[in-house]
C-alpha cells in the first residue's frame, strides 16, 4: 500500500495566508503568500449549515474573531477551519 500526501505547492513554497481583512456581511479579503488575493463570501456556507457548531458563526461578533494560524484562517482553536485550496480558489464548498 502506498500513501500520498498532496500539498498545494506553487514553486518552492506552500500556499499560506499572509493577511485577512473582514470586509462585512461574512466576506473576508484574503492575501496569500504568492501575492494572489481573493474575496471569500462565507455567508452561503454558514447559512446552509444546519449544524449548531457551524451556524453559530452567523453571529457576526463570533465570526470576526478568526486568526491566521499556520497560514490558514482559524476560528476558536480549530472549531471552524477551511481547506486552504478552497480559500485560494475563492469558494467554500458545503
Model confidence pLDDT, tens digit, residues 13-70: 799 999 999 999 999 999 999 999 999 999 999 999 999 999 999 999 999 999 999 9
First to last CA, the chain: 31
Length of the chain: 94
What pTM was estimated for this model as a whole? 0.84
The owner of cell 474575496 is 39
CATH architecture of the domain with residue range 9-89: 2-Layer Sandwich (3.30)
User: What are the φ and ψ backbone dihedral angles of 7, each rounded to 5 degrees?
Assistant: -125, 145
Nearest to 68 by CA among 58, 54, 57, 82: 82
Band of pLDDT at residue 5, cut at 50, 70 and 90 = low
Q: Which helix (H) or strand (E) holds 62?
A: helix 60-63
Q: What is the pLDDT of residue 93?
A: 78
Measuring CA to CA, how many Å separate 73 from each of 2, 11, 28, 33, 79?
Answer: 31, 22, 10, 14, 11
Amino acid at each position: 500500500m502506498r500513501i500520498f500526501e498532496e500539498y498545494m505547492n506553487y514553486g518552492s513554497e506552500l500556499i499560506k495566508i499572509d493577511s485577512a481583512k473582514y470586509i462585512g456581511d461574512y466576506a473576508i479579503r484574503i492575501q496569500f503568500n504568492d501575492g494572489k488575493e481573493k474575496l471569500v463570501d462565507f455567508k452561503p456556507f454558514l447559512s446552509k449549515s444546519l449544524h449548531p457548531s457551524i451556524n453559530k458563526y452567523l453571529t457576526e461578533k463570533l465570526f470576526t474573531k478568526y486568526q491566521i494560524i499556520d497560514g490558514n484562517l482559524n476560528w476558536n482553536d480549530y472549531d471552524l477551519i477551511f481547506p486552504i485550496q478552497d480559500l485560494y480558489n475563492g469558494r467554500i464548498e458545503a
